[in-house]
Amino acid sequence: MTATVPTTAALQTARVAVLGYGSQGRAHALNLKDSGLDVVVGVRRNGPSWEKARADGLKVAEPAEAVKEADLVAVLTPDMVQPALYRDAIEQNLKPNAALLFAHGFNVHFGQIAPRKDIDVILVAPKGPGALVRREYEKGHGVPCIYAVHQDASGKARDKVLAYAAGIGGARAMLIETNFGEETETDLFGEQAVLCGGATELVLAGFETLVEAGYQPEIAYYEVLHELKLIVDLLHEGGLAKMHQYVSETAQYGDLTRGPRVVDAGTKARMKEILDEIRDGRFAKEWVGEYQAGNGNYRSLKQKDLAHPIEQVGASLRSRMPWLNPATPAVTTVPAPAADAPLKRSA
Within 13 Å, how many C-alpha atoms sit on residue 143's CB side? Answer: 20
- Residue 35 annotated as binding? no
The answer to whether 98 and 72 are in contact (CB under 8 A) is: yes
Options 28, 104, 109, 308, the catalytic residue: 104
- Residue 92 annotated as binding? no
- Residue 300 annotated as binding? no
Task: Report angle CA 290, 296, 347 to the nearest 5 degrees.
Answer: 100
Q: E strands along the chain, which residues?
A: 15-19, 38-42, 59-61, 72-75, 99-102, 120-126, 145-151, 175-177
Is 104 labeled as catalytic in the residue annotation? Answer: yes
- Residue 190 annotated as binding? no
- Residue 191 annotated as binding? yes
Task: Return the bridge partners of 16, or none.
Answer: 39, 72
- Residue 44 annotated as binding? yes
- Residue 187 annotated as binding? yes
- Residue 223 annotated as binding? yes
- Residue 136 annotated as binding? no
- Residue 49 annotated as binding? yes
Main-chain phi, psi angles of 16, to 5 degrees: -110, 125
Query: What is the crossing angle of helices 23-34 and 157-167, to 10°?
Result: 100
Query: If you count DSSP H runs as helices and E runs as strands, how many of each does the chain have, helices first?
Result: 16, 8
What single DSSP character describes residue 89?
A: I
Q: Which residues are annotated as a binding site?
A: 21-24, 44, 49, 130, 187, 191, 223, 227, 248
Q: Which residues are annotated as a binding site for substrate?
A: 248
Q: Which residues are annotated as a binding site for Mg(2+)?
A: 187, 191, 223, 227
Catalytic residues: 104
